[in-house]
Amino acid sequence: MRSINDCFLILFVSILVFGMVRICEAGGLRKNFYKQTSCPKAEDLVRSLTRVKAEANPALGAKLLRLQFHDCFVRGCDASILLDRVGTDQAEKDARPNLSVSGYQEINDIKAKIEQACPGVVSCADILALAARDAVSFSEMASRSYLGFDPIGHQFKSLKTIRRFMQPGSYEILVACNTVSVPSPTPLWDVLTGRRDGNVSLASEVNGNIPGPFSNFTSLKRLFLNKGLNVNDLVALSGAHTVGFAHCGTFSRRLYNFTGNGYTDPSLDATYIESLKAQCPNPADPQTTVEMDPQSSGSFDSSYFNILVQNKGLFQSDAALLTDKSSGKTVQQLRKPRAFLDEFGKSMKKMAAIGVITGNAGEIRKQCGKINSQV
């Protein structure tokens, strides 16, 4: 009987043999970039490996979305956030706004598998963009228990997998031989590929480029405009707060000392305040987290915008979207599920193109945490 490792090897060799062509020197991003390279099945492989990770960790989608966002807003979408510090020089991941960011190990693991199949072809920047999308897509399917259809009505594509039970109620999906067919979600948004990896990562460049939970609308709008994103993008991308959790310290000031005199934030729903206080006593426990979208933090949907108009946005930056006429109008429009998914996908496509490196610039890292000269 073939082992799982043998089956992986067979898959990797088949990828190498099929469609061997020279890597195209892309002047920009495009759909299915890797189909014209020596790794034509790259996106399928990333999707399969991400599915294993998402099955083991339902919160992975939210983590990778945040990781991608924090990467793209500093130096562009070049995977610079994945680089480790060198000596005493702090990297982006060491900056305070990134200390609670996670998902690094999952991307490193996926990259290692990809390198076994297609060494030196697929960038860490593309893996991050693809894995973030795929983790959210798979988690959404799992949370809603769809049988044959994804959240926006498309039929699932067939994916050959097997289930290896590890403990009651959980299983690991592996790409292997002698497999059976199980549902695979249609991606929730398109990801263009062809990025290359950057060689620089500086903690000093993070502050001022990452919007914080205390930001007002003016600062949010200015920061997004500086990245080539408009108010519609700001509102749509804020919808990512429909999944995941937040530490109490990121919003406790709204509960206990909003004005500096011990008052609560008057723009926050009073009942919601009491609920949050019960979960986050003062002073805040740095380890305690709460849902960013109450009762819906596991589903990627438009629920965030419904709670927002109920004055239950967790962060000041959420509530800030209601303080501007234009953004407030967009909030109302995105309460419709299909409208949110459509607009989020468009804005993600724009965000994922910020400052990308293509063609012969940068490099394709062998390891996501190190530039090639350090490997």
**Cα 161 to Cα 170: distance, rounded to the nearest angstrom:** 15
User: How many C-beta atoms lie closer than 10 Å to residue 26's C-beta?
Assistant: 18
DSSP type of residue 289: E
**Cα 233 to Cα 73: distance, rounded to the nearest angstrom:** 13
Q: Is 70 a catalytic residue?
A: yes
Contacts of 15 (CB under 8 A, 6+ apart): 39, 40, 41, 42, 45, 117, 118
Alpha helices in the chain (DSSP H): 4-17, 42-56, 60-72, 104-117, 124-144, 217-226, 231-238, 252-256, 270-279, 303-308, 316-319, 325-333, 337-351
DSSP type of residue 84: P
Q: Which of 70, 154, 241, 247 is catalytic?
A: 70
Reduced to 3 states (helix: H, G, I; strand: E, B; else coil), residue 295 is coil
Active site amino acids: 70
